[in-house]
Chains A and B, each alone.
Chain A
Amino acid sequence: MVIVKRKELSLAERLYLPEVFRALSITFRAIFKKKVTRQYPEERLVTTAVTRGQPRLVLLDDNQHLACVSCGLCEIACPAYAITIDGAETERCIEREPKRFEIDMLRCILCGFCEEACPKDAIFMSDELELADFSRAALIYDIEKLKRPRAALQPRIDYFYGANDRWRKRSSTS
């Protein structure tokens, strides 16, 4: 058991008023301090490769087809059950592609597990942060809303591999 001894107050502190005036002088000086407010629509948050925004799907270099093979790993990895995938066959050499790929943005918690689970580099966390609409249905994003050309996600992809390389090297040496 620890007995915490309260600090004995001095007479000036017990009188309260001197301390009140000290507090008032502190807050008065605060009025003239530099403001920390960011005026949002005009001054946006600076995003970097580290920014973990909403997940987006990567398009192949032909800008038509998704890199996704609808393996369902991200669907399983998602802790918020935000991802729904229906697979389908395709004529392309990878044989499977998603017919339906939906992320419920109201459920997504931006954790990035899908990005880590993906074996085909098909889903990455973009730097897009804004999420607003007038209906819930509009916030369940489908492929059309999720697909992005590879170039748009390139900084994140490079960062992701840099971060993973560190782990890879460590595991190879040990």
Chain B
Amino acid sequence: MAETLFYLLGALALAFAVGVVRARMPLFSVLSLLGSFFCLSGIYLLLGFPFLAATQLLVYAGAIMVLFLFVIMLLNLGDEAQLERHAGLSLSGRRLFVGGTAAALLGIVGLAAAQMNTTFVAGEVPQGRALDDLPTLAGLLFTRYMLPFEAASLLLLATMVGVIVLAKRQRGTSAVEAEAEAPALPAPPLSSGAPR
């Protein structure tokens, strides 16, 4: 029963993932991704990690995808064709580029998974505690895996700061540009340095 469910969910997750790439409307891409997240969360449940499953739903489905939807609705991206003018590459060129990158990434992940010792954590769980036990998970995260954890959060922080700086500067330069453009306008007659 559990195994059947696992393969079913896996197949569904893959189907949804294909849907993300195939959908013509960005909104349906987001919805497919959402479906994929649901299937992944189900797989986590089957593997005995309810905490991870709930967090997956909470963070990705509940917050991040909502923001994606927000942006898509705000920009009113009805169809892929409208994206054309935002990108330098042609549609087929872009597809080739994205597809190639995705395949390369998938290959790297597959290689890493094949190399990795999947029982890397089993030895570190204290006797008599399961890995899905929250204190155990938290303990490992803040002792043995402190460095990757903090590195990840630092990366997120850097991204946040970067985005804010970019957004701020854009507004600043546009104001500067507006001032710089002002003299280019035809000067009013009898303008002897009078403040406008």
A and B touch in the complex (CB under 8 A): no
Residues of A within 8 A of B (CB): none
